[in-house]
Amino acid sequence: MDVSVIVCTHDRSASLARVLAGLAAQTGLEDRSWEIVVVDNQSTDGTAAVVRAAAASCPVPLRYRYESVPGKSNALNAGIDAAAGRILAFTDDDVELTPGWLAGLVEVLERFRCDGVGGPVVPVWTGPSPRWLAEAGPYRMHAAVVDFQHGDEPIALDAAPLGANSAYRREVFERYGRFRADLGHVGRAPLPCEDTELARRVLRGGGELRYAPGAVVYHDVEPARLNRRYFLDWYKARGRAAAREASSDGNAATIAGVPRHLLRTFVTSLVRWVFSVGSTRRFFHKLQTWRTAGAIAEARRTTPPAGTAPTSAGTHRRSPRSTPAP
């Protein structure tokens, strides 16, 4: 099998149906053998029936796998286990795929013989953005809005592509490890960065990632997420994820288990939040304070002994109930 597309899902059967329809409509792959693997991570909304219906008319093999261990990284790693392709492509269960998406990823990956590729993820605003949300400039609050755009050329990436639009050679996972099981959403609880942590690990290890400008994915900006509480929770979760990612650094100077640089950053952000003028600027610094607070809390909880590496990197707990028929 040339390519496997892995889609992990949890209780999003309606949007998953749209994704599967978009995959069935992919073009430019007539000389490729490829498949779709859907990993259902404890859904309760009829996801298996949606996959069964889509498989009946799909022009390529569409397989279902149930992963009973909660967590997106566990689902991603189960998808890697189930996939037959030498190239593994990843997307989400709530996006809109353009017809040339998969061909665009594969073309850049093979032309440059790189380790992985990431394509543009374009946010689609279904309503007006809030007045407090800065979309550009020095106070841009981009992290909680899925957005990855780097122009029109297949440049070498120094920024991590997003899991909603990426592909890697299978041997990348053998060389650099799999998705960290201590990162990634569990259900709808926000704990991001399992995708970007993997990409950064590849880059640190000397791997090459490229941008695939023709592999476009559109991602709705859900109105339910456009409130201050969601952004605060997301930034705090991102701080926790960053602290977990950095937990292997046993050489950092700490106070009560917290790296000193985090304490300095927290104080600086707090002062800027308190004394900033203007609602946008104040909220920007509040988000930075929340993110650093999340990192501090996680650092205190998980700081390992000096010189140890995170035991959860690339691990996947197997489940005897991971592969029932849909």
Please report the pLDDT score of residue 8 as a whole number: 97
Please report the pLDDT score of residue 303 as a whole number: 60
HSE of 301, CA atoms in CB hemisphere, 13 A: 10
Query: How far are the Cα atoms of 1, 118, 134, 177, 200 from residue 102, in angstroms, in the given order?
Result: 14, 11, 32, 24, 22
Q: What mean pLDDT comes out for the span 258-269?
A: 91
CA nearest 207: which of 173, 163, 182? 173
Region of 137 (left: φ > 0; alpha: ψ -120 to 50; beta: rest) is left
Please report the pLDDT score of residue 47 as a whole number: 96
List the structure tokens of 303. 């700081």
Residue 10's contacts (CB-CB under 8 Å, 6 or more residues apart) are 40, 41, 42, 43, 72, 75, 93, 185, 187, 188
pLDDT at 53 over 70: yes
Question: If you average pLDDT over every residue of the chain, what do you get?
Answer: 88
Fill in the DSSP letter of residue 100.
Answer: T
pLDDT at 17 over 90: yes
pLDDT at 114 over 90: yes
Please report the pLDDT score of residue 316 as a whole number: 41
HSE of 150, CA atoms in CB hemisphere, 13 A: 20
Inter-residue contact 40 to 47 (CB < 8 Å): yes
Confidence of residue 255 (pLDDT cuts 50, 70, 90): confident
CA–CA separation, 228 and 130 (whole Å) = 9
3-state secondary structure of 134: coil
Tell me the residue type at 94. Answer: D
The percent of residues in the chain predicted with pLDDT above 70, rounded, is 89
- Which class is 3-223 in CATH? alpha beta
Q: Where are the domains of the chain?
A: 3-223, 228-302
Q: What residue has token string 């920007």?
A: 284
pLDDT at 248 over 80: no
Please report the pLDDT score of residue 304 as a whole number: 52
3-state secondary structure of 120: coil
pLDDT at 313 over 90: no
pLDDT top residue among 322 and 253: 253
Please report the pLDDT score of residue 148 as a whole number: 92
